[in-house]
Amino acid sequence: MNIEQRIHAFAQLGNYINEKPLALQEVIHKASIYNAWFTIKSIEESLQNIATEFLAKEKLEQWLAAYSFPKEEETKTIAMVAAGNIPMVAFHDILCVLISGNKLQLKLSEKDQYLLPFLLAQLIKIEPAFHNNISIQFKLENFDAIIATGSNTSAKHFEYYFNKYQHIIRRNRNSIAILDGTESKEALQQLGHDIFDYFGLGCRNVSKIFIPQDFDFIKLKEAFSHFSEIMQHTQYMNNLDYQRTIYLMNQIPIIDIDFINIVENNSLHSPISCLHFERYTSHEQVQAYLENEQENIQCVIGKGYLPFGKSQQPSLTDYADNVDTLNFIIQLN
């Protein structure tokens, strides 16, 4: 395949997703039963972003125009340990490997066993030449480089086991929002998407907000009421009750919103169902925090940064950890 054929195949996959055929609906339902955190709504939201932001032909062409690809005979085999915190979170990495003409050796997350294999099978149906470039394996072997994503603990193991290979190893990250107190209700509702989409399980989800000293939490509570349906999710609410009990037992004050614990805490990472906040008195204070935590921050939301509501709608050039995955693959020795 040449680059034009690969672009065409992926664009056709995007069209397939947009058509929402019965077979796709069935695998969505199957995945939602297998993993309770993968609700039908969250899977559909992930698929929509993949189709709209990653697989639109004109966006693919514009993205790839900035790169020069090696000759076909220089094809590499890229192993991948996929994460499973949100539906199909590894899709962008998979796209980078396959669109560049290289071979993919994929180890699935136990949490995401159905969606990615289904999409890859559809890609092969669209373009059979991909058959020899895609393998899903339990044990990774005979590869040239690896991309592995996991927790901070698993990342240490990845570093040890894959140290001799060229690699990208990803760890836990979180995202942050900076508010100045002048945000409209609509802007705060969009912030709710950054916090609540995928139950806050993604590295691009906002886990902490910076707020001015006189910030009015009533405005936040009113805006967040739009997301009250999250209270219907048993696992999420179990986490909320557990964390709230711990806060109460330790006499830690919380802002009382029915479906999220808002707690003053300097830490960037917050548990599921919780949102940390920190008050600031100057822009310099916020900048110092961002610089100190830059290795742990995935993205920043707010005026002058990524717009509210866009953290879980990454584009093709929004590379995880700000590491250009496609360039890494192209430059492999």
pLDDT value for 19: 97
Pick the CATH number of 174-302 from 3.40.50.300, 3.30.70.20, 3.40.309.10, 3.30.930.10: 3.40.309.10
The CA distance from 135 to 69, in Å, is 22
* Mean pLDDT split into 10-residue runs, the chain, 333 residues: 95 98 98 97 98 98 92 84 96 97 96 97 98 94 94 88 93 96 95 97 97 93 94 97 96 92 96 97 96 96 96 95 95 84
Fold of 3-172: Aldehyde Dehydrogenase; Chain A, domain 1 (3.40.605)
Half-sphere exposure of 18 (CA within 13 A, CB side): 13
pLDDT value for 317: 96
C-alpha 90: how far from chain center: 8
pLDDT, tens digit, for every residue of 38-95? Answer: 999 999 999 999 999 999 999 999 999 999 887 766 889 999 999 999 999 999 999 9
Domain ranges for the chain: 3-172, 174-302
C-alpha 97: how far from chain center: 17
pLDDT value for 74: 80
pLDDT value for 72: 64
Cβ distance 170 to 85 under 8 Å? no
DSSP annotation string for 125-191: HH-GGGGGGEEE-SS--S-SEEEEE--HHHHHHHHHHTTTSEEEEE---EEEEE--S---HHHHHHH
Residue 131 is which amino acid?
H
pLDDT value for 9: 98
Cβ distance 239 to 272 under 8 Å? yes
Any bridge partners for residue 310, and if so which? none
Cβ distance 230 to 205 under 8 Å? no
Element (H, E) at 78: strand 77-81
Q: Is the dihedral of CA 210, 211, 213, 217 positive or negative?
A: negative
> Nearest CA to 279 among 175, 209, 220, 222?
209
Whole-number average pLDDT of the chain = 95
Residue in the structure block whose two tokens are 């939201």 = 45
Residue 298 is which amino acid?
Q
State phi, psi for 276 to the nearest 5 degrees.
-85, 150
Residues contacting residue 308 through CB under 8 Å, at least 6 positions apart: 177, 183, 187, 188, 190, 191, 193, 194, 301, 302
Work out the burial of residue 36: count CB atoms within 10 Å of its CB; fewer than 13 is exposed, 13-18 middle, 19 or more buried: exposed
